Amino acid sequence: MNEQTTEELTRLLNAEDREVGFLQHLPPEAVARLAGAISGTIETEKNAIETAVAEGTQRLPKGLRGIVRSILS
Amino acid sequence: MSNQPDLNTRAEIEKLAALISLPAGELQSLAEGGAENLRGLRRRINQRIFDDRRSQFRALEKFTRLLPQGTVAKLAENALGPKLAGRVVGEMDPIRGFKIAKRLPASFLADAVPAADPAKVREIIPYLSAELIRDVALILVKRGAYILMGRFADALSAPAIRAVVGAIDDDAVLLNIAFYMEEKTQLTKVVQMIDNVRIARLIRTGTEKTLWPQALSVIDNVSSELRARLANIMVDQDEATLNDLVSVAHEQNLWGPVLRALDKVNVKHHRKVVNLPALKDENILGGLVASAYEEGLLESALPLVRPMREAGRKVVAHAALKQGAEVAEAALWAAQNTGQWDLILELAEYLNTEERDLIAGLPILRKPQVLRDVLTAGAADNKIALLLDIIERMDAPGRRVVAEVAVDNDGNLLESVIDVARKSGSWQTLAVMLAELDGKGRSLAGQIFRRQTDDDRAAFTAAAEEKGVWDTLAGDLGGEAA
């Protein structure tokens, strides 16, 4: 179970095996909880950036809004 | 003693927990992964977060180069907001990042810092004015953002460190920031920039019960010279405060940092510390010994027994043996490596039958050089009778090594043993021991015995007959006196 979770984390974090390999030897429940929280954090952060982009570009002067939107889209 | 992780691992768990919004308590079982692995994982998560849309923010940063710096700062503050601004600044070269950042208000920077790539922020920070850094720091302190501050503390310039430390009156805050510092190896540099009076105050604040871990973390992570200075301030506290230290060290598994600190403390303070009432508890002393063993600190811990009063020595002797043969073996090696057999022999006087049996069976007491050193120390300190008692508990191979060592060098050590046997009547132990020698060894023993008085030789013969070993010894030890 740990092995699978660790593999998923490796992919999610674009990590090297050695960076997350130590988790394989730790309690599976804790590793699963950790993996869930990491995944949630990345997702939350992604959403926060989406929101910030939408709101931030909206506040830009019209002349810049389109350019910045096209860069960030 | 609890099984709480070491201080650096504890700090890493808290940092990871804060990053992924979990209570630190839920991550305690990851402690076995160790501070380094947890730090690596946290950095990888951060990297993953800041890699998201990185190419777009890089492109946006490139676009902002077409605009005047003042305009970029205004757009950041009034339109983009701290989150986007943090990401864009994170893609700038440090000089340009600094030129934009210095135009922004402290409150905005305080909001943007958590959103920027920490590695990039660290590059920009040294260029910012001490006043701006101080103002941002004060906002972050109000938010209790100690982990965030710890991430950048070692990147500050000397004037910035002085400005921040001068502006933060609460020592507990500074200790917490230090506890979470990203590059603990840089702590020496940071602490050296703080004036002596404030450092002393900081450490004294750290001796409040709840802050001991933070204070110990600082002391444990600075250079040897600075550790000595801080540790001396630490132990220059009243007895009640130091008793707290003992109980916190025991409860939170902090003996490692405490022992490393005490190793640097002026020896004049040792007596006060080792005779604290809290250190009379066998359970606490057992935890201390076990930690010293686990952290390879027995050689530093052993001298602390010297200034202990007799009652404390008795407790420490029993507590150490309670940790089992492995720890006892390591403690004796610590004595061997540091030339402290005199101390071990004093402690051994307090041991009961079972404890002496355990000592007698240890592999270290089968090593000729070790036995030579033990017997020499025993002869010098009048402890041969004690050693004979332990030798009597040894198995035959053990006794043989002792006998071989005793007859070495023209039997100098054997002469000391004979002196004690004469006074204490322990000829039987000596006879059984010498009976383990091979022919060559018995011949050497014979030469030494022929130098002894008739009375001694008669007493020895009678003892050997009683123990049933005279037949083995008679050929070599039974001749006429020289």
What global pTM score does this model have?
Answer: 0.85
Contact B335, B347 (CB under 8 A): no
Cβ count near B401 (within 10 Å): 19
Q: What is the per-residue pLDDT for B31?
A: 94
Residues of A in contact with B75 (CB under 8 A): 60, 64
Residue B355 predicted with pLDDT over 80 = yes
Q: What is the per-residue pLDDT for A1?
A: 60
Q: Give the Cα separation of B438 and B220 in Å (integer).
A: 53
Q: Give the Cα separation of B234 and B200 in Å (integer).
A: 9
Q: Give the Cα separation of B232 and B267 in Å (integer).
A: 10
Q: Is B37 on the interface with A (CB under 8 A)?
A: yes
Q: Give the Cα separation of A2 and B37 in Å (integer).
A: 16
Q: Give the Cα separation of B23 and B143 in Å (integer).
A: 18
Picking from B9, B16, B19, B29 by the largest number of A CB atoms within 10 A of its own CB, the best residue to mutate is B29
Average of pLDDT values for B47-61?
Answer: 94
The Cα-based distances of B199 to B131, B162, B233 in angstroms read 22, 12, 9
Tell me the pLDDT band of B73, cut-offs 50, 70 and 90. Answer: very high
Mean pLDDT of chain B, nearest integer: 93
Cβ count near B462 (within 10 Å): 14
Residues of A in contact with B45 (CB under 8 A): 13, 38, 41-42
Q: Report which of B60, B63, B67, B65 is spatially closest to residue B84, judged by C-alpha positions.
A: B60
Question: A66 to chain B, minimum CA–CA distance in Å?
Answer: 12
Percentage of chain B lying above the pLDDT 70 cut = 99
Q: Report which of B242, B318, B229, B235 is spatially closest to residue B281, judged by C-alpha positions.
A: B318
Cβ count near B469 (within 10 Å): 18
Query: In a 10 Å sphere around its CB, with 0-12 CB exposed, 13-18 middle and 19+ buried, how is residue B453 labelled?
Result: exposed
- Which residue among B22, B37, B84 places its CB closest to the CB of A37? B22
Strand, helix or coil at B200? helix
Residues of A with CB under 8 A from a CB of B: 12-15, 19-20, 22-23, 25-27, 29-31, 33-34, 37-38, 40-42, 44-46, 48-49, 52-53, 55-57, 59-61, 64, 67-68, 71-72
Q: Is B75 on the interface with A (CB under 8 A)?
A: yes
Q: What is the per-residue pLDDT for A3?
A: 83
Q: Give the Cα separation of B279 and B296 in Å (integer).
A: 21
Q: Give the Cα separation of B417 and B443 in Å (integer).
A: 17
Residues of A in contact with B3 (CB under 8 A): none
Average of pLDDT values for B141-155?
Answer: 94
Asked if the Cβ–Cβ distance from A72 to B29 is below 8 Å, we say no
Q: Given the structure tokens 């507990």, which residue do they identify?
A: B172
Q: What's the pLDDT tens digit per position in A24-35?
A: 889 888 899 999
Percentage of chain B lying above the pLDDT 90 cut = 84
Q: Give the Cα separation of A57 and A51 in Å (integer).
A: 10
- Which residue among B29, B34, B60 places its CB closest to the CB of A72? B60
Strand, helix or coil at B60? helix
Residue A32 structural domain = 2-72
Tell me the pLDDT band of B276, cut-offs 50, 70 and 90. Answer: very high
Residues of B in contact with A71 (CB under 8 A): 56, 59-60, 63
Q: Give the Cα separation of A73 and A49 in Å (integer).
A: 12
Question: A60 to chain B, minimum CA–CA distance in Å?
Answer: 5
DSSP conformational letter for B24: G
Asked if the Cβ–Cβ distance from A71 to B63 is below 8 Å, we say yes
Asked if the Cβ–Cβ distance from A60 to B80 is below 8 Å, we say yes
Residue A67 predicted with pLDDT over 90 = yes
Q: What's the pLDDT tens digit per position in A1-43?
A: 678 888 888 999 989 888 888 998 898 888 999 999 999 999 9
Phi and psi torsions of B264, nearest 5°:
-100, -5
Asked if the Cβ–Cβ distance from B83 to A49 is below 8 Å, we say yes
Average of pLDDT values for A64-70?
Answer: 93
DSSP conformational letter for B27: G
Q: What's the pLDDT tens digit per position in B404-444?
A: 999 988 888 999 999 989 888 889 999 999 999 999 999 99
Q: What's the pLDDT tens digit per position in B1-51?
A: 557 889 999 999 999 999 999 999 999 999 999 999 999 999 999 999 999
Tell me the pLDDT band of B480, cut-offs 50, 70 and 90. Answer: low
Question: A71 to chain B, minimum CA–CA distance in Å?
Answer: 6
| Type of residue numbered B271 | R
- Which residue among A19, A48, A53 places its CB closest to the CB of B40? A19
Q: What's the pLDDT tens digit per position in B318-352?
A: 999 999 999 999 999 999 999 999 999 999 999 99
Q: Give the Cα separation of B253 and B287 in Å (integer).
A: 8
Average of pLDDT values for B156-179?
Answer: 94
Neighbour-count burial for B136-158, b at 16+ CB within 10 Å, e otherwise: bbebbbeeebbbbbbbbbbbbbe
Q: Vertex B326, ends B372 and B353: CA angle to 5°?
A: 70
Asked if the Cβ–Cβ distance from A22 to B37 is below 8 Å, we say yes
Q: What is the per-residue pLDDT for B418?
A: 93
Across the A:B interface, residue pairs with CB atoms under 8 Å apart total 98
Q: Is B34 on the interface with A (CB under 8 A)?
A: yes
User: For B61-119, what is the HEC assignment?
Assistant: HHHHCCCCHHHHHHHHHHHHHHHHHHHHHCCCCHHHHHHHHCCCCHHHHHHHHHHCCHH
Q: What's the pLDDT tens digit per position in B242-256?
A: 999 999 999 999 999
Asked if the Cβ–Cβ distance from A49 to B81 is below 8 Å, we say no
Average of pLDDT values for B258-272?
Answer: 93
Question: B443 to chain A, minimum CA–CA distance in Å?
Answer: 59
Number of helices and strands (H, E) in chain A?
Answer: 4, 0
Tell me the pLDDT band of B290, cut-offs 50, 70 and 90. Answer: very high
Asked if the Cβ–Cβ distance from B51 to A14 is below 8 Å, we say yes
Q: Give the Cα separation of B249 and B254 in Å (integer).
A: 4
Q: What is the per-residue pLDDT for B1?
A: 53
Helix axes B427-434 and B384-392, enclosed angle (nearest 10): 60
Q: Could you give the ipTM of this predicted complex?
A: 0.95
Q: What is the per-residue pLDDT for B481?
A: 55
Q: What is the per-residue pLDDT for B479?
A: 66
Tally of domains within chain A: 1
Q: What's the pLDDT tens digit per position in B94-138?
A: 999 999 999 999 999 999 999 998 888 999 999 999 999 999 999
